[in-house]
C-alpha cells in the first residue's frame, strides 16, 4: 500500500527559511517549500499546498508547491538520475519544462538552485529537452566524445567513460547516456 498526500489545506501556523508548518485539524505538518513560494505565504493565512511525500531510509519528508504545475515539474525532475528532492524542488520554481530550459540556457536560475553545478545543469538540460536526439544519429566515437565535451566534461574523463560503454549499444543517444552514468560517479 502506498500512502499519497496529494495536498493539504490548512492554516499556516509557522514558517522559516525552508519550510512551513500547516495546521490541519489540530495537527501540524512540516512541509518544505522553495524560497520563492515561501515569500508569498504569510503566517495565519489558509492555503492549499500540493504535496509530494518522500520516503528516506529513516525519515519521511513532505515537499510542497503552490501549483500543480510546479508539483508535476518536481516529479519529472526527481526522476532524473542524480537529482534529489531538494534540487528538484529548487528547479521546479521554473513552473514548466520550457521555462526551466530557458532559465538554464540563460543562466538565470533563482537562488533556490544552490549547489547544482554547471555540469549537472547541462545534463538536466540534455535529459529534459531531448537534445540527445538532435545529435546526429551516426554512431561514431568522435560524436559521443564531442557531445560530452560540449556538456563540460574534460577529454580525459570522457575518454575513460567511453571505455565503459557496452559494445552492443549502437545508438549515439544511448552511448551518451551510458557514458553519463560513469561520469556522474
Q: What is the residue extent of each domain of the chain?
A: 7-127, 130-183
> Residue for cell digits 520554481?
93
End-to-end CA distance of the chain: 33
Q: What's the pLDDT band for 56 if we cut at 50, 70, 90? A: confident
Residue pair 153/120 in contact (Cβ under 8 Å)? The answer is no
Q: Model's pTM, two decimal places?
A: 0.66
pLDDT the model gives residue 134: 41
Structural element, H or E, at residue 58: none
| Maximum pairwise Cα distance, the chain | 63
CATH 2.40.50.140 fits 7-127, yes or no: yes
Percentage, residues of the chain above pLDDT 70: 88
Percentage, residues of the chain above pLDDT 90: 29
Amino acid at each position: 500500500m502506498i500512502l499519497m498526500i496529494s495536498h493539504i489545506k490548512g492554516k499556516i501556523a509557522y514558517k522559516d527559511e525552508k519550510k512551513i508548518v500547516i495546521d490541519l485539524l489540530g495537527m501540524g505538518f512540516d512541509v518544505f517549500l522553495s524560497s520563492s513560494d515561501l515569500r508569498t505565504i504569510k503566517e495565519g493565512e489558509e492555503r492549499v499546498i500540493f504535496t509530494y511525500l518522500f520516503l528516506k531510509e529513516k525519515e519521511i519528508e513532505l515537499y510542497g508547491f503552490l501549483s500543480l504545475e510546479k508539483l508535476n515539474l518536481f516529479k519529472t525532475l526527481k526522476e532524473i538520475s542524480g537529482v534529489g528532492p531538494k534540487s528538484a524542488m529548487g528547479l521546479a520554481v521554473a513552473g514548466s519544462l520550457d521555462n526551466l530550459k530557458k532559465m538554464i540556457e540563460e543562466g538565470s536560475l533563482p537562488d533556490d538552485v544552490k549547489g547544482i553545478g554547471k555540469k549537472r545543469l547541462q545534463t538536466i538540460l540534455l535529459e529534459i529537452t531531448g537534445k540527445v536526439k538532435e545529435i546526429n544519429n551516426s554512431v561514431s566515437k568522435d560524436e559521443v566524445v564531442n557531445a560530452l565535451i560540449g556538456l563540460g566534461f574534460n577529454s580525459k574523463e570522457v575518454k575513460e567513460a567511453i571505455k565503459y560503454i557496452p559494445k552492443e549499444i549502437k545508438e549515439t543517444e544511448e552511448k551518451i547516456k551510458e557514458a553519463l552514468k560513469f561520469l556522474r560517479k
